[in-house]
Structure 1
């Protein structure tokens, strides 16, 4: 009976140890998954938020440069540069803007960002048409008429593009904050897993002590039985 009781106790302890081992493996798997997700979140924060936000800033710089070039061309009488030279300078900035847009499109975009981007591209295309009208008008109309076109239609187009860029930048910040929240959640999950692992380590220690204590009891009982 004593032997059967001992075997039963050891079986219980073995089952508990197996359960602890299974929990440890599961927690390790979840922790690795959490670390991987955290790493992906930080990579996305850099590649899909920080870099694109910088690109939007450079896009705005090119837009302001185009506006300054066109304004200077209209104001200077007589002209310091030909229409061909003006177009070459504008084309250079257009190429920079298109390159930045293509780079931006390759990043991860939310549905709202895709909508804003499509609207921005449409406004840039519209602005290019307005620029062509202003340049063409400068060669056929009086300077006052061209300046008026630049300061009304041209300015409205510029402000519209600038407004859309601001919306995209704000959206970048908003999505970035959401990624940071996700990262904080993952960090708290990792802390929880570490706490559970620590608790399991204590349980394993207690079980080991119990096994040693039970073995000593059995050994002492057997010695007394043999003496009798």
Structure 2
């Protein structure tokens, strides 16, 4: 009957080894999923947050420079170069806005971005109005300039909101990455503990098998 015990314990050992293989395979699949999620998270941080923040910085610089050009023109009365200078700045702003619009926007970000693009259009309309008032009375020019200054403040405010969103989204993506890594570490420790436990059980089965076999009396050798 010793072969019966041998087969019985071998079957149990095989089942335990099968469990180990299934667990290892499942863990590898989860690790692959985690790596993919981390890759997407890091790509989002770079493409949709770091690059966008650089766009926002450049947009802020162009807006400030446009304001300074108008201020200088207003106080010096020299407006010959202003149309071309504003045109160049607006072209640079349009390029950045188009690049920004191709990134992935959150719902809140999309709302502020839409408001910002409307601000840009409104500002350009006021700039054209200011240029058209070059030969008008000082009071008219001052009124248009004040409208332009107010629009500039509104535009900068929306741009600041967009910058705030980049920081918040960057933090969220960073927290998600930490959670993925923490979850992967927990699964790794669990897998290790389970494999060790199953290894001990297999060893116990092997020893039990040997013990059961040794209990059966051996047939005497025939002379």
* Matched-pair contact (CA < 8 Å) for 2:5–2:212: no
Residue 134 of structure 1, aligned match among 130, 140, 144 = 130
Question: Is 1:103 the equivalent of 2:99?
Answer: yes
Give the distance between the partners of 1:39 and 1:227, measured in 2 at CA. 69
**Residues 68-217 of structure 1: matches in 2 within 5 Å?**
68-77=68-77, 79=78, 82=80, 85-139=81-135, 141-150=136-145, 152-214=146-208, 216-217=210-211
* Matched-pair contact (CA < 8 Å) for 1:24–1:200: no
Query: Structure 1, unaligned stretches of length 5 or more?
Result: none
Give the distance between the partners of 1:63 and 1:109, measured in 2 at CA. 22
Displacement of 1:134 in angstroms is: 1.0
Displacement of 1:227 in angstroms is: 4.6
* Matched-pair contact (CA < 8 Å) for 2:119–2:151: yes
Match of 2:42 in 1: 42
Match of 1:63 in 2: 63
- Identify the range of structure 1 (198-207 vs 105-114) with the bigger mean alpha-carbon deviation: 198-207
* Matched-pair contact (CA < 8 Å) for 1:137–1:146: yes
Give the alignment's TM-score, normalised by structure 2: 0.90
How many corresponding residue pairs? 221
Deviations 1:19-66 (A, max 9, x none): 121011001110111122112101111111111011111101101101
Query: Structure 2, unaligned stretches of length 5 or more?
Result: none
- Identify the range of structure 1 (95-104 vs 194-203) with the bigger mean alpha-carbon deviation: 194-203
Give the distance between the partners of 2:182 and 2:87, measured in 1 at CA. 51
Q: Secondary structure at the match of 2:60?
A: helix
Give the alignment's TM-score, normalised by structure 1: 0.88
